[in-house]
Amino acid sequence: MTDLIAAARRWVGGDPDPVTREALQAIISSPDLGELEKAMGEPLTFGTAGIRGEVGPGSGRMNRATVIRVTRGLADHLLAKHGGPPERAVALGFDARPDSRTFAEDTAGVLAAAGIGVRFFPDVTPTPLVAFAAKALHAPAAVVITASHNPPADNGYKVYDGNAAQIIPPTDIEIAEAISMVGPASAVGRVEGVFSGSSPLVTPMPEDVFDAYAREVTEARPNPQTSDLAVVYTPLHGVGGDSLLRMCLIAGHTGLIPVAEQSRPDGAFPTVKFPNPEEPGALDMALDLARKVRADLLIANDPDADRLAVAVPLQGDWRLLTGNELGALLGDYVLRYWKHPQPPIVVNSVVSSPMLGRIAAERGAVHEATLTGFKWIINAGLALEEKGEGRFAFGYEEALGFSVGRTVRDKDGIGAAIVMADLAAEEARAGRGVMDRLHDLWDRVGLWVSAQQSIVREGAEGRDELLSAVDRVGSGPPDVIGGVEVTEVTDYRVGEERRPVWLGRQDLIELTLGSRGRVLVRPSGTEPKLKIYVDLSGEPDDDHEQAHRRLSEEARSLAVEVGEWLGL
């Protein structure tokens, strides 16, 4: 504990922010050693998603000192990579969380002090628009201050590489090493007041960036439709509302009905405990409105608008579509109207359903699976394009991330929402609904369902327990799960030299259940959880939804059985 107190005092001495400096000093003086452990016990580390964590004082939390040191490391990386300040400016945006604008201005100030130009969005901005700007302006890097769909207490720092995709190794390692060489934040050079014009290196983003984005989204639409369908929409207090409304008007979808209480950006998220559209209860307010107005469709973005959730009316109530169901629907829609002379390339994460691969095979598309994370999906697509195997058409991950076409080299909840509205409008013109289209897919490539089981273990000991569980699956997998034979075991912790870089080493075990499906076991990369994924295939009967419920229950039972087999 003496070492921890000494580290905390050093952090206080190097923190340029009087608010967090005083807060950490108060923690040092307090008898609450647990709070000191949270603040200083395990520093936030920079990885392939940048950094993300709870806002507060100390090296283990997001604060101005953390942001300043990380940015200086990024600056040093860019200076080394380009042999001096890059010719073009870094793209910068931020979300609506309370500290985001301050963190963004500190980021711009540090970059400017290093001689690096910055083009920043003056107001809160969807993450996909920042990623698009990075591509359109050929930026050497981009930074978004956002914690996406994390709890209200969090914030984060997301970095894009010079190819406008999220960073992957070795770039993340190089930046992390550069950060480790940075001294106290108070010693880092920083130009203050840069958003008010104090540095000629820091200038607002061109106003026509959204227009360029809108043009590319429009061009990527597989089969543009117009409609006055009643579409309930919530950005969950995030930053996507204005952009989504503008895109709907441009696209010709005039029936958008916002959830008024959640429409304006508010980083306190007053109506939801956890602003993640996947979390139970997050969409209750939108679903209530959809029932009240008898809507035709419900769409939702997460707070930084890079994810898309969808619900549809079914049998007198509403049904939330899973990320895998949306991936199948959108992927098939893109392939159905593919017109480019080059073959379409579709990519999904390895933990996403095999269903897209079946659709791709039927439609003659190139299909690839990657490690979890959209950084791998996009970089795989770019690499396959470079090899001449086709043209990137669609990518998705089961956690509600979708990218249609080549507009944004990341997931884009706004562009995907427009394509979803097109799909719904097309079905409505034929007197059908979205679920009819999904049922058609089940008839063509088989009924696929997915289930997840998450097992939480907190702390370092918990992390070791979860990794030991993965070891048990890899070293002595079960022969049978739920009466279904395990026909093959793939251990992604080994053999990476025989796989492409986007399917490299990961703490992941896959158990193949013959033609019935598979089970995957892996620890979460961002949470203290072991995740068990089950994907099962079956034949739909005349009642598609009844068959879906029956197979889904079997998948859930298998996930629970695997957890019990692991003794967790």
Look up residue 545 and give its two tokens.
């939804």
Q: Are 245 and 311 in contact (CB under 8 A)?
A: no
Round to the nearest angstrom and report the end-to-end CA distance of the chain: 32
Establish whether the linkage from the previous residue to 85 is cis, with ω within 30° of 0: no
Q: Which conformational region is residue 315 in: left (phi greater than 0), alpha (psi within -120 to 50 degrees), or beta? A: left
Establish whether the linkage from the previous residue to 170 is cis, with ω within 30° of 0: yes
DSSP string, 434-451: HHHHHHHHHHHH-EEEEE
Q: Are 440 and 548 in contact (CB under 8 A)?
A: no
3-state DSSP call for residue 394?
Answer: strand
Strand ranges in 249-316 using DSSP code E only, listed in sequence order: 256-258, 297-301, 308-314
3-state DSSP call for residue 120?
Answer: strand
What amino acid occupies position 87? E
Q: Are 478 and 486 in contact (CB under 8 A)?
A: yes
DSSP state of 253: B
Q: Are 411 and 306 in contact (CB under 8 A)?
A: yes
Catalytic residues: 148
Burial (CB count <10 Å: 0-12, 13-18, 19+), residue 472: middle
Look up residue 175 and give its two tokens.
């930046």
Calpha distance 183→175 (Å, rounded) = 15
Calpha distance 224→340 (Å, rounded) = 16
Radius of gyration of the chain (CA): 24
Look up residue 218 and give its two tokens.
């429009």
Calpha distance 87→259 (Å, rounded) = 43
Cβ-based neighbour number of residue 19 at 10 Å = 11
Question: What is the H or E stretch that residue 517 is in?
Answer: strand 517-523
